[in-house]
Copies of this chain bind each other. A is one copy, B any other.
Amino acid sequence: MLEGVTMAVNVDEYLLHALKEDITSEDVTTNAILQKKEFGTVDLLCKQDGILAGIKVFQRVFELLGEVHLETSYQDGDPIYKGEKIGHLKGDMRVLLSGERTALNYLQRMSGIATLTYECVQILEGSKTQLLDTRKTTPNMRIFEKYAVKVGGGTNHRYNLSDGILLKDNHISAAGGIKKAVELARQYAPFIRKIEVEVENIDMVQEALEAGADIIMLDNMDNETMRQAVEIIGKQAQTECSGNITKERLLELREIGVDYISSGALTHSASILDFSLKNMMPIKRYAF
């Protein structure tokens, strides 16, 4: 949840930095036009169908700048439709104008990711297979993007290199085989970690099972091999399928019965969901 403690400890600094990126000395245009504090209102409009994500981040951007209040009956995860009025902001008009772009940049990207995730999750609906994200996120956006995946119905894979063990091809060859790699990981890692191993064929599946992997990632396998792998593994480990996941491929994979499918595209290639602030109106008096 991007609110409360998480906002205070891990989010505010990103928002403030993004504001500094957009305002390095002052907002020249706004300060030219409004040389003193005046109050006004503006509407947040949705311009495409999708899933809302990031409404509290959107709101927080304005709060960091000054006196602004958001009225909305929507919350993250709600389906929204083109043309809907999602919220109504009132407050210092200079804050509304200066914060608009940064607030929308977060909201649009997060809602875009939630929307794409939701579409993919719908395809898996009714199966046991769950959709995972990856570490292929935009730099300095991970906390926002992984949260958006969750809002869209996806499940988060490890957050970063510090909180999960994933032995990939390069680690395995550096260690001298799956068995040795798993052993080294088990000795080294905090005891609370599960160990995941990436495999490419049935022999490696066997090795991973013998080594005692908790999760086995089936990487770039054809359907037949994957089906075989899933059968061999059974309940001995969890299975994750990865590699160029398209919507069509999701349909095939749900039949195979893999536990998890991970998709980098959720975060690295989602289009934004479009919003705008419209109908700014000065208001005479102002009270929260």
Contact = CB atoms under 8 A, between A and B. Distances in A.
A140 B170 contact: no
Nearest to A240: B191
A4 B30 CA distance: 12
B260 A33 contact: no
Which of A15, A26, A105 is packed against the most chain B CB atoms within 10 Å?
A26
A94 interface: yes
Contact of A162 (B27, B37, B94, B260): B27
Contacts of A109: 138-139, 268
A105 B137 contact: yes
A29 B165 contact: yes
Interface string A104-139: 111011001000000000000000001010011111
Given A155-B190, A192-B194, 14 more contacts: A4-B66, A5-B98, A6-B31, A15-B139, A17-B139, A28-B188, A28-B193, A32-B188, A35-B188, A105-B135, A108-B268, A109-B268, A136-B272, A164-B192
Interface of A: 1, 4-6, 8-10, 14-35, 37-38, 40, 42, 64-66, 92-95, 97-99, 101-102, 104-106, 108-109, 112, 130, 132, 135-143, 146, 155-171, 173-175, 181, 184-185, 187-194, 196, 215, 238, 260, 265, 268-269, 271-272, 277, 280, 282
